[in-house]
């Protein structure tokens, strides 16, 4: 599927339900822990490409592991393979992956005793990793980096002889993702302290493993696209999403609060949520948000705001330029195709004119799944063509089929 044309009548009231795939973030964390401790099963695992790549990588003991575009797999597997005595792997990925820095994580692992070499450009994949016993138990990392570096170390910590103490230097960002890792570790009976800038994780004795099965919650990031759809639909429209919890470990659960500004009410039911369009959005003043703890929903929010005619100022986006694409630059280009005026800085996006054009827009996705899915709801306002539409398989392979089921018209 190279491109898809998508359209839906915004005046047609929406009333439907969708079962979302398991959280990619939770799935990949639990797969690492399952590989380390082997004593529990996983239900509702995500069917995303990133998770399939992680599962395949974890079955490899030697040779080449190609994780393609999967940034989480690159970070988590780097730490995992470093602990696997006797293994020797070359960890590589797509051309974009070779541009995404990994030096901070590698330096931290080397400090612990890991044997990791760069095979091409210093500080970037591909890596050659020779598994060994990591004997040190203290490490320092900058706190304002991708939380995946921190989570990668947290996940291997309970398998180390003395556990691990991580000192985070500076202001900690993406805290919910760190707390997600903490929560999953604690669910298994692992002792974790996360206080101020210090994380301390004790080693796990297998006899103390508390569960034999873990159930993955559905993906709140995937839910964001349905929040956008309901926000752009007519009053009274609603959709139910499962399996989502009010007590979620996922940072993107903040959607429930943010989308109140767009007239969407969230009702938490048993293992699902009901979204309902109950009000029109206030267009009189810009919406200002700090998304440092939930950067993955920035694209969705910016597109929703444009569709509703709401200007917005989004801050805390310093990790977006090193994602699957430079998301800030990509958003500026694609939003402006739709009639917006956008200003970006190194860590913010400002939708200064939220006046949508009436013409069909052709949206490029830059090999980034979230670009495709974030823009799709805008087809409630104007006809869209989404290029490289199959990129959604990275995190949500059933996305286009689910949209068709709830009434969107798609042609390939």
Based on the fold, state whether residues 234 and 248 are members of the same structural domain: yes
Do residues 240 and 170 both lie within one domain? Answer: no
List, for the chain, all residue ranges whose pLDDT scores fall below the cut of 70. 1
Q: How many domains does the chain have?
A: 2
Question: What is the rounded distance in angstroms from the CA atom of residue 286 to the CA atom of residue 351?
Answer: 9
Give pLDDT, residue 1.
56
Last residue in a domain, options 169, 196, 215: 215
Fill in the DSSP letter of residue 21: P
Average pLDDT value for the chain:
94
The conformation of residue 320, written as its DSSP 8-state character, comes to G
Structural domain of residue 187, as residue ranges? 24-215
Whether residue 15 is found in the same domain as residue 30: no
Same domain, 66 and 152: yes
Give residues with Cβ within 8 angstroms of 290, minimum separation 6.
315, 316
Instruction: For residues 183 and 251, state if they share a domain.
Output: no
Q: Give the integer Cα–Cα distance in Å for 70 and 75.
A: 9
Torsion, Cα of 245, 251, 255, 257 (10° steps): 90
Please tell me whether residues 168 and 261 are part of one structural domain: no
pLDDT value of position 10: 83
Name the domain boundary from 215, 242, 272: 215
Radius of gyration of the chain (CA): 21
In this structure, the answer to whether residues 97 and 231 fall within a common structural domain is no
Query: Residue 236: which of 254, 263, 213, 261 has the closest Cα?
Result: 263
What's the confidence (pLDDT) of residue 412? 84
37 lies in the same domain as 82 = yes
Look at residue 100 in the predicted model and tell me its pLDDT.
Answer: 92
List, for residues 217-254, the tens digit of each pLDDT value.
999 999 999 999 999 999 999 999 998 999 998 999 99
- Read off the pTM: 0.84
DSSP state string for 195-260: ETTEEEEPPPPGGG---SEEEPPB-HHHHHHHHHHHHHS-TT-EEEEES--TT-S-GGGGHHHHGG
| pLDDT tens profile 281-296 | 999 999 999 999 899 9
State how far the Cα of 294 lies from the Cα of 317, in Å rounded to an integer: 9
Q: Which of these is catalytic: 49, 219, 293, 296?
A: 296
What's the pLDDT tens digit per position in 336-346? 999 999 999 99
Whether residue 282 sits in one domain with residue 343: yes
Residues 294 and 192 placed together within one structural domain of the fold: no
Looking at 215, 243, 278, the residue that finishes a domain is 215
CATH number of domain containing 311: 3.65.10.10
The answer to whether residues 184 and 53 belong to one domain is yes
Q: Output the pLDDT for position 323.
A: 79
What is the spatial distance between Cα 394 and Cα 51, in angstroms, rounded to a whole number? 8
The 10s digit of each residue's pLDDT in 160-187 is 999 999 999 998 877 888 999 999 999 9
Does residue 111 sit in the same domain as residue 183?
Answer: yes
What local confidence, expressed as pLDDT, does residue 106 receive? 98
* 296 belongs to the catalytic site: yes
């Amino acid at each position: 599927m190279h491109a898809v044309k998508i359209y839906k009548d915004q005046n047609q009231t929406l009333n439907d339900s969708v079962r979302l795939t398991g959280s990619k973030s939770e799935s990949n964390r639990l797969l690492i822990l399952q590989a380390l401790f082997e004593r529990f099963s996983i239900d509702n695992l995500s069917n995303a490409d990133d998770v399939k790549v992680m599962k395949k990588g974890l079955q490899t003991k030697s040779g080449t592991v190609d994780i393609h575009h999967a940034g989480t797999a690159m970070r988590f597997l780097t730490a995992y393979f470093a602990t696997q005595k006797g293994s020797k792997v070359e960890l590589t990925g797509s051309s974009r992956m070779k541009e995404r820095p990994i030096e901070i994580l590698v330096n931290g692992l080397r400090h612990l005793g890991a044997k990791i070499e760069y095979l091409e450009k210093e500080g970037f994949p591909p890596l050659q990793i020779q598994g060994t016993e990591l004997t040190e138990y203290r490490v320092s990392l900058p706190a304002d980096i991708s939380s995946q570096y921190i989570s990668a170390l947290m996940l291997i910590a309970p398998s180390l002889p003395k556990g691990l103490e991580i000192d985070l230097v500076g202001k900690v960002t993406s805290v919910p993702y760190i707390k997600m890792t903490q929560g999953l570790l604690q669910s298994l009976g692992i002792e974790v302290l996360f206080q101020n800038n210090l994380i301390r994780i004790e080693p796990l004795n297998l006899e103390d493993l508390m569960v034999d099965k873990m159930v993955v919650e559905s993906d709140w990031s995937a839910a964001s696209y349905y929040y956008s759809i309901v926000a752009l639909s007519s009053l009274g429209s609603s959709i139910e999403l499962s399996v989502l919890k009010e007590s979620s470990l996922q940072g993107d659960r903040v959607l429930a609060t943010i989308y109140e500004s767009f007239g969407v009410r969230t009702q938490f039911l048993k293992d699902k949520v009901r979204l309902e369009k109950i009000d029109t959005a206030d267009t009189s003043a810009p919406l200002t948000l700090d998304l440092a703890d939930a950067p993955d929903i920035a694209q969705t929010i910016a597109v929703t705001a444009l569709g509703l005619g709401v200007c917005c100022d989004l801050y805390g986006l310093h990790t977006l330029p090193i994602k699957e694409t430079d998301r800030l630059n990509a958003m500026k280009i694609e939003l402006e195709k739709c009639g917006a005026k956008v200003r970006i800085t190194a860590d913010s996006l400002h939708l200064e004119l939220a006046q949508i054009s009436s013409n069909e827009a052709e949206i490029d996705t830059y090999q980034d799944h979230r670009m495709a899915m974030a823009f799709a709801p805008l087809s409630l306002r104007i006809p869209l063509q989404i290029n490289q539409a199959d990129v959604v398989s990275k995190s949500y392979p059933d996305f286009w089929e689910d949209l068709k089921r709830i009434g969107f018209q798609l042609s390939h």
